Structure 1
């Protein structure tokens, strides 16, 4: 039997002249698909909000989301989105404008995200715990004309508005979308802890903002599937933070692919949405794929492993998605004792590598708690929204990240080239298909380096990751080619941390590496050489960490600082970070 192949099609495929031969691309994974999974799909030509409105027409009375005890149907959600869109138009938001959404998982995030889409603007998704300097970068880089954030983060925005031009700032509270009685209870318990916003602050509070649109009638903008819709941030394949521009089609294609590879899904199935909406995994899988298909999102703004256990008990979700460290933490949480997990239809791990040992332990844990499923690992990059490869429902191979989604193409090439390597040989993972990004915002050279049109006529993402594909199309992730550290599902870029460390008054030079961690896979370690006259005391270490906390997001702060009199150097005078990595590995063996 000849090897499965498929004609190049969809986004990522070069348009051919009429009558030209369309190249055929090797696709060995097609022969390994579960019987019910199709090789190709039909995708919505609408916007993201257009697809959601289609869902609301079919399942209007279904619950779209739960939040802190309140519920909202799809019909009610669409009404909220249109109310918000009118308010955005009243604010002056125009087609193509960028609006920064700096919020945790809550109704306002969901509503604003789709309302921005409805008025033809672009959502710029930002981690609310980012440092001031990082948020300032995101605002400048995206040229955002408006932003929305939580009241507790207002002081951060007040400071950065002194150095960044941000015409419009909307501030909301965690309870603003709760029913009156529940909202009052929240403020009595939690709201009083938040410092009030000054009366003369140049901001719009959520409810005042919404009222501004009361008399707006023309606000919807006719946009299309291929139009830009979202900016997500990543270091890309080089480790320098960049905005990744994604389209309506990118997200809608993902929504179709997720359900095609999970044929057990039924409208109304509950997803425990803890993965944050500023992350492709959270936004693409836990939110939009549910909205696209009539799922029910349980919005969780913050959690601990202990509270997560309680959420599993309370909501009995059908779907959970998380990073490996979450699953490892659940193994040690006393609150999980006796919890019935027979409700689960799908458990998905992504954002970081799932070790073979942890998978075995968590699969046993699921079985002990009555679940009939095992954890399924996926793989992807923000350049393709999120996952584009997933372990099949009915078969798994140890160490594999699974098979490409329908209409997604994987190939393994010799690193730095477009030359495909034989099955079983290690090389760089390349991806093509309908979820491939438009570009890196403001980085045309890096876009050209990452998005390359091969001889087969298709545009491929060169991921910067090393992997292997076997002859049946199963893909195996090996490691990142570049220096990027992945800790707890977040990308950390050593050069950025070193820049912050080197800016501290005691520090002469620094080098940051990732070291193995049983829970986070990697954690951040810094090697520091002090300036003459400074001694490596505990007080000195704490001063450096205090400096880091001002300028670095919490997940990226070094967990360990080792002082060195000298740092190893290469022949050309650069700090030899590989030497430090080797020393660290040998020390831990």
Structure 2
């Protein structure tokens, strides 16, 4: 296939370059003008990444240069071609065109352009080429294909409402510029008024024989899934669990955890999700805080917490094995290798299931607005742990709204679920969402990077949500990404350089898509923004889901800031939590009624919005600290230090000054392989910081370590635990060298 690309579509600062050219041209210095033009251009790396992929697939990529820049001079065009060789990419031919009719005569299949050239654009089979030059107020994508050699799946461009005017007020929450990415139909979508159980059941009835869950090779159809859920609902009723009760589930990604969540939802009870690797006292706190009526717990976890079971608010404790739903041969091996030494009698899963047979019919509770569905625990890495109460409306709205943005999920696709069910990113984005879409969920209770390739390819996975480290593992393990669909990163900030490296790896491994990004927090049901083909700009976290409103405010106030002004993210909409369970004081601090009459969630996350409505996350407000009356932002220091090629990762936390009553920046770094931490590097770090940061952001102490402490979600999938770093937890990391 031959694709012709207009120069204006790939140059971000085209107007500036054109101005330089015309100034030289006025002085009759045409050649200098050409050199000034092409030596000053800033290329749109997103588009070049797409073109590199196309070229790798055997397509021919030609460049269209406006007539006035070449005047048919072949020598100049050859010079232009050399000037445009960058990032291991070069155009096959550089030509001039006066009209699109010439393209048909020249056997051009597709044309990539800015809006000025006949309003023409290209929609590729898998992705829209991003025409987001900052020099234009508008652009249109109009389908135009010449002599296509294979079918191209075109989306109706008139469904995209591209706003042709700049923001009218300069106030993002009023202008809502992100809504131009949604069609009128999408903007008017109504959020479901159902329980989680009802929402799942609606889809399951149409897909009864299709695979819903996969667990170590064992498959559960949607019909079997619903049967298990109904059976567990009867079991809960048989033990006296009723509408409004809270039941704790302390389990990893096993089918029983999924059955239990939906079973509790069916009868109107609330699932209190707990990390099974929490300490005994933390589990006791999480169970008792919500007055849990029953605890369903992993048997190996139960063995660890036996000493505190008498201190729990419930004596109904069900022991569950992670091997229960494994294929028989695996189950036998697993159970034989497990060494349990329980000193008390607890309810076995078998007895729990059998007891449910006494109940003839587990009646389904009707939907009630704002009724609780799940409790998630958050805040452990940055402060006091809080119990977030999420409703049916929260969970279903997030799923329903993501369906509008993530349009390419299809029934029969496969999602690899690594993020744990006790995490909002796991339960909602990686379980409830795909199951509701008809996407098979492959549950993996214990992630191991060396087994990722086998797990991914054996199950023909299409989609995966996770933190950046997971996608780096995909590349490192050389996983075949030919069938990849939505690979979505969230949970922690990803630097642009790191994102581009992942995108390059995706390309090499056969993916037709770049890494997608999302942003969310437990208090807003994990997912509040998402980037898709039209809104996946490098460094951004996408656009707000269609159901949510966003604003950026001055920290500590309700004062809204304008475009590109950094402040605290605030979210309003149906995905915002009901409250912190039994914590009215914290709820009032976080959920605030603004002058517009809406309830806004103050996230504690910092960032800004551009005029297109795309959001950019910068750092956590809670990571900011004051020193001598000045605000210090550790992520600013990290961003500067990570510009050095020798450094793989960087984390900055405050530490007490040894002799003054102030806090100063402590820098932890992880070196890239092949580099040493020495005086030369130390001087490099000091120099780059002194050039780019003020006095209060200068590192006081720099330490090289092998790894950062992480939150315990499993191998490679936890986030950096800044609290432990701040406590100087040297016992958890191997210190190479300390330089002050």
Instruction: Tell me how far apart the structure 2 counterparts of residues 149 and 555 of structure 1 sit (CA, whole Å).
Output: 27
CA positional deviation for 1:189: 2.6
Instruction: Tell me how far apart the structure 2 counterparts of residues 100 and 513 of structure 1 sit (CA, whole Å).
Output: 39
Q: How many residues align?
A: 491
Contact map agreement 2:530 2:543 (CA 8 A) in 1:
yes
Unaligned runs of 5+ in 1: 7-23, 487-491, 499-509, 520-544, 565-585
Q: Confirm or deny that 1:206 pairs with 2:349.
A: yes
Q: Confirm or deny that 1:82 pairs with 2:233.
A: no
Distance 1:511 1:131, change over 3 A: farther
Q: Confirm or deny that 1:25 pairs with 2:169.
A: no
> Superposition RMSD on alpha carbons, in Å?
3.3
- With structure 1 as the length reference, what TM-score do the two structures score? 0.77
The corresponding residue for 1:567 is none
Instruction: Tell me how far apart the structure 2 counterparts of residues 300 and 237 of structure 1 sit (CA, whole Å).
Output: 24
The alignment partner of 2:622 has SS state of: coil
Structure showing greater relative contact order (alpha-carbon pairs closer than 8 Å, 6 or more residues apart): 1
Instruction: Tell me how far apart the structure 2 counterparts of residues 5 and 254 of structure 1 sit (CA, whole Å).
Output: 29
CA positional deviation for 1:555: 7.8
The corresponding residue for 1:505 is none
Instruction: Tell me how far apart the structure 2 counterparts of residues 349 and 563 of structure 1 sit (CA, whole Å).
Output: 28
Instruction: Tell me how far apart the structure 1 counterparts of residues 482 and 519 of structure 2 sit (CA, whole Å).
Output: 26
The corresponding residue for 2:76 is none
The alignment partner of 1:41 has SS state of: coil
The corresponding residue for 1:405 is 545
The corresponding residue for 2:569 is 429
- State which of 478, 481, 498 in structure 1 corresponds to 2:621: 481
Q: Confirm or deny that 1:467 pairs with 2:607.
A: yes
Instruction: Tell me how far apart the structure 1 counterparts of residues 728 and 281 of structure 2 sit (CA, whole Å).
Output: 26
Distance 1:108 1:290, change over 3 A: same
Contact map agreement 2:394 2:525 (CA 8 A) in 1:
yes
Q: Describe the superposition over 1:531-587 as per-residue Cα deviations: whole angstroms up to 9, x where unpaired.
A: xxxxxxxxxxxxxx9xx9xxxx998594798599xxxxxxxxxxxxxxxxxxxxx96
The corresponding residue for 1:46 is 194
- State which of 336, 350, 370 in structure 2 corresponds to 1:192: 336
The corresponding residue for 2:80 is none
Q: Confirm or deny that 1:137 pairs with 2:279.
A: no
CA positional deviation for 1:177: 2.3
Structure 1 or 2, whichever has the larger Rg, is 2
Distance 1:471 1:587, change over 3 A: farther
Report matched runs for 1:223-238 at 5 Å.
223-235=367-379
Unaligned runs of 5+ in 2: 1-163, 625-633, 636-650, 657-662, 673-708, 713-717, 731-737
- With structure 2 as the length reference, what TM-score do the two structures score? 0.62
Report matched runs for 1:100-249 at 5 Å.
100-178=248-326, 182-183=327-328, 185-196=329-340, 198=342, 201-220=344-363, 221-235=365-379, 239-249=383-393
Q: Confirm or deny that 1:363 pairs with 2:503.
A: yes
The alignment partner of 1:287 has SS state of: helix
The alignment partner of 1:25 has SS state of: helix
Contact map agreement 1:270 1:296 (CA 8 A) in 2:
yes
CA positional deviation for 1:35: 5.8
The corresponding residue for 2:396 is 252
Instruction: Tell me how far apart the structure 1 counterparts of residues 465 and 319 of structure 2 sit (CA, whole Å).
Output: 29
415-424 vs 162-171, greater mean Cα deviation: 162-171
The corresponding residue for 2:527 is 387
Distance 1:155 1:76, change over 3 A: same
Instruction: Tell me how far apart the structure 1 counterparts of residues 355 and 664 of structure 2 sit (CA, whole Å).
Output: 51
CA positional deviation for 1:39: 2.2
Contact map agreement 2:191 2:397 (CA 8 A) in 1:
yes
Distance 1:58 1:384, change over 3 A: same
Instruction: Tell me how far apart the structure 2 counterparts of residues 512 and 442 of structure 1 sit (CA, whole Å).
Output: 36
Q: Describe the superposition over 1:181-231 as per-residue Cα deviations: whole angstroms up to 9, x where unpaired.
A: x32x22443222322354x73311111110101120243233424211110
CA positional deviation for 1:395: 4.0
CA positional deviation for 1:512: 12
Instruction: Tell me how far apart the structure 1 counterparts of residues 560 and 315 of structure 2 sit (CA, whole Å).
Output: 49
CA positional deviation for 1:36: 9.3
Instruction: Tell me how far apart the structure 2 counterparts of residues 146 and 350 of structure 1 sit (CA, whole Å).
Output: 32
The corresponding residue for 1:92 is 240
